[in-house]
Structure 1
Amino acid sequence: MERIAFKMYLNEGQKEEYKKRHAEIWPELKQLLKEAGISEYSIFFDDETNTLFAFQKVTGESGSQDLGATEIVQKWWTYMKDIMKSNSDNSPVSVPLEEVFYME
């Protein structure tokens, strides 16, 4: 199992809307993530910088950021682009993070 972490950026004042949308995550998107081997997916928010920190455990070849070719992920990106910093393809601006410490 691999641990993956990355950061994304929320637009100012969008924290509650972001939480609402994730509380109502689409069942088909959740199923896709699980089928791709993604588990223990957590997202944390830094109020000072509007930065989102995401963590996943992955048993497959890739994490959620690699599922962009699927129709449901593209639909989710379009749904989220108004509240996040996004790329031209509507994917969230995402920066992978290097793990520098892990305690088991």
Structure 2
Amino acid sequence: MIGLSYYPYWLEGNPDYTLSIADLGQNMKDMAARYGKEVMVVEVGGEDTKVQNTYDMLVAVQKQVKAVPDRKGLGVIYWEPQGARSWSKYGLSAWGADGKPTKALDAFLIK
């Protein structure tokens, strides 16, 4: 299996995931075909202050994983979703200031 990280937040110039999501999909398709291995996004995260954007990004990432031919796209793992900024200072979690998961994690309920 090949594991990929995807953090639009860290992209230089413009962290808008819509500008790089197709590249993620192409990379996964290329690696699956080139190496004959399954692929998985093993690290992903979005800004905790932009809940809807993070939700939308997670839905888009899952669609790209599902689009890998021959069922070689295996899944998505959110890195440190419970790392609330209030105690961890990590701004890419999916936890709110109220100590509860944000709507962003609902993206994992979509089938």
**Same fold, judged at TM 0.5 (above):** no
Name which structure has the greater RCO, CA cutoff 8 Å, separation 6+.
1
**Which is higher, the Rg of structure 1 or of structure 2?**
2
Q: Larger helix proportion, structure 1 or 2? A: 2
Q: Larger strand proportion, structure 1 or 2? A: 1
TM-score by length of 2: 0.28
